[in-house]
Structure 1
């Protein structure tokens, strides 16, 4: 066989392979597309034949506040792209959103009423959530604004203490720095009092060696710290 004949044979063979591959891979996809198109046409036909009845059903479901069912029925025929149908679906969706929002407001309000006044952080969080749902509510705005600086200060104070044992971070560091032997240090208790000048009075009780004595005793340190927790004055160490 001549060279050009071999080339032609290879070319034709390749075309046959490619053609066969295209046929067997594309045919099922086309069948699938045809099936989808058939289903779409069937839905459109069903909608056109029962349009008035379908609208009546959707309107009835909306009037009965069965918004989920109304949305589901409208979605079934959404492929028709009928403007009146889409408006009804949007209406049902809007009403459902209102209902869900009102339920959230009621639940949050009930939780707020059941929360003691002393639980400032929780009440602040609840007012924050309510404001997200009803941003123009003057009562929520006022309460939220009143609690915000208080909660922020409480958070600032809380951050000064260790969660595991309640020790004051910076005062404990200062105490250990002043001790000659910190290996026997054992925190017992820490209390604080807020002062009018935005400082705190911290009282820490701990076990440890005092001075050059080799005896481990109970110690109590009282100190004034600033708003960032830095010790600014030791009131007593005994």
Structure 2
């Protein structure tokens, strides 16, 4: 067989294979479409023959608050595009959403009741979630805003202190400026109290050389700082 004849034979053979594959694929797709049409027609026929009974089942499930089952039954016959059925589906979905929302509110409220007042961040997070579910609830809004103010205040205060040893940064800077030998400074402890006028009373204990005596002594400084941590005055230095 000549070369051109072999090439032609391969080409024709390939065409036959591709053609056969296309034929069987199309046949399979056609069979699938036909089956879908048959199933659709069967459901429509079943729905039309038992319409009253189907609606009765759905309404009974709604009465029993079995909304998931009711929606499942509605979805089964949704292909019928029956207007009353679709309207009933919207009703069931609304009831399901309402029920799920109420359950979330109950769960969050129970968790809130079990959360100590001292756990401010957790309580704030719970009130935030409740507000997402019930935005117009004035009690949730008030509690949420109160906690937000407290937490923001705590963040401002926390930022004034060193994360390493707890020293108040700006007061420590002032102390180091006033002592005779900065190299002798060693922070021991810092405490604070919030005042009614939005200031803080800071008490810091440290080792350092306060005078020219040459002795390194234990010192305690009490000072008032403003809301941003700026020292207002030193109350005592012992």
> Given the two structures, how large is their TM-score scaled by the length of structure 1?
0.72
1:46 equivalenced with 2:51 (yes/no): no
Tell me what 1:79 maps to: 79
Q: Does 1:23 align with 2:23?
A: yes
Cα 1:162–1:90, aligned 2, differ >3 Å: closer, same or farther?
farther
Task: Please report how far the alpha carbon of residue 195 of structure 1 lies from its aligned counterpart in structure 2 after TM superposition.
Answer: 2.9
Q: Any idea what the Cα deviations from partners look like across 1:55-95, whole Å, max 9, x if unmatched?
A: 11000010111112111211222222222222222211211
Unaligned runs of 5+ in 2: none
Contact 2:160-2:170 at 8 Å conserved across structures: no
Q: Decide whether the 8 Å contact of 1:131 with 1:140 is kept in 2.
A: yes
**SS of aligned partner of 1:65:** coil
Equivalent positions of 1:1-238 (< 5 A) are 12=12, 15-117=15-117, 119-161=119-161, 167-168=166-167, 170-171=169-170, 174=173, 180-181=182-183, 185=186, 187=188, 189-206=189-206, 208-210=207-209, 218-231=218-231, 233-238=233-238
CA drift at 1:139: 3.1
* Number of matched pairs: 234
Question: How far did residue 10 of structure 1 move?
Answer: 7.2
Check conservation: 2:200, 2:227, Cα contact below 8 A.
yes
Q: CA RMSD in A?
A: 3.9
Structure 1 gaps of 5+ residues are none
- Contact 2:202–2:224 at 8 Å: present in 1 too? yes
After superposition, the C-alpha distances for 1:171-225 in whole angstroms (9 at most, x for unaligned) are: 486379656338x8464x331112344322222334x554689987644343433
Q: Is the 8 A contact 1:170 1:231 kept in 2?
A: no
Q: Give SS of 1:141's match.
A: helix
Asked if 1 retains the 8 angstrom alpha-carbon contact of 2:44 and 2:79, the reply is yes
SS state of the match for residue 48, structure 1?
helix
Alpha-carbon distance between aligned partners in 2 of 1:164 and 1:53, rounded to the nearest angstrom:
73
| Residue-by-residue CA offset, 1:113-163 (whole Å, 9 max, x unaligned) | 455555554444433333222222333334444444333223322343456
The TM-score with structure 2 as length reference comes to 0.72
Judged with a 3 Å threshold, the aligned counterparts in structure 2 of structure 1 residues 131 and 35 are, in CA distance, closer, same or farther, namely: same
* Counterpart-to-counterpart distance in 1, 2:21 and 2:89: 45
